Amino acid sequence: MTSGRICLVVAALLALAACATNIAGRKQLMLVSEQSAIAQSKQAYVQTMSKLDSEGKLVTDPKLVNRINTITGRLVAQAIKYRPETAQWEWSVRVIDDPKTVNAWCMAGGRMAIYTGLIQKLDATDDELAQVMGHEISHALLNHTAERMSMAMAAQLGAIATGVATESSANMVGAAALAQLGLLLPNSRASEAEADRVGIEIAAKAGYDPHAAVTLWQKMAKAGGKGPPQFLSTHPSPANRQQALAALVPQMMPYYEQKGPRPIYAMSAAPGAAAGQKATLK
């Protein structure tokens, strides 16, 4: 069989293997299950937190911890409304003492972290921190971790098929590079746009001002200077981000202006905490 035919067969098998539609309505290639992504993320999270704890880099200051728990707790309560099954996730958050790092993340399964550098260097308000964490939570809700893992697997399979057909290691490397450029980069942009859209809505419904999404990226741009913060390394330019988010603000204001208490999920700081904690009204 020629290399072209092998590649066509691999592409067809990948297309038929698994396709899912996320809550944003976009179809995703899913060769890796969400449960597998969650399991691997949990293992990585526990190992990372254990190491940071041994190095004394996990913040224990009650005021800051409570601030982050409150913000993320309100966001998680809204996230669960988007995907009720995520109430069973082991939602948790830790603050990492690293003044130089401007970053935050949420793994598959709801395990989060935010760095003191982001809080301090941006002098971030609660509304702005809610935009950051809402965006990161949205990546988990939209199953982006499993999608990235699936695309990496697809790239590897394509490279292997091409290399086997031509008996060329150079072709295998080239195919992997082409797969990364052709699949991963476009999807990354789509993923970021999705997370922005869902994140600003979650934050607004949790009672955080959507205008903060714009001011956040203004601060990010200033913090970047000659080199972008780590948080921006995998994100589109702040200018493009500001424009897209500013256009969403009018749609989000009714959610933000709703009266009444906002539910809050009782966050846990423990890496392996049990799931199923109930949301309470604040």
Q: Tens digits of per-residue pLDDT, 268-282?
A: 755 444 444 444 444
At 237 the three-state DSSP class reads coil
Whether the pLDDT of residue 11 is over 70: the answer is no
C-alpha angle 190/195/201, rounded to 5°?
A: 135
Domains of the chain, by residue range, sit at 3-281
Residues 77-103 pLDDT 10s: 999 999 999 999 999 999 999 999 999
**% pLDDT > 90, the chain:** 51
Instruction: Determine which one of 90, 128, 136, 192 is catalytic.
Output: 136
Which DSSP state fits 183? I
Mean pLDDT within 132-141: 95
Sign of the CA dihedral with 231 first, then 233, 238, and 241 last: negative
- What is the reported pLDDT for 41? 87
- What is the reported pLDDT for 98? 97
Rounded Cα–Cα distance for residues 241 and 254 (Å): 21
> Is 90 one of the catalytic residues?
no
Mean pLDDT within 250-262: 96
Mean pLDDT within 74-79: 98
Q: Are 214 and 249 in contact (CB under 8 A)?
A: yes
As a dihedral over the C-alpha atoms of residue 45, residue 47, residue 53, residue 57, rounded to 10 degrees, the angle is: -60
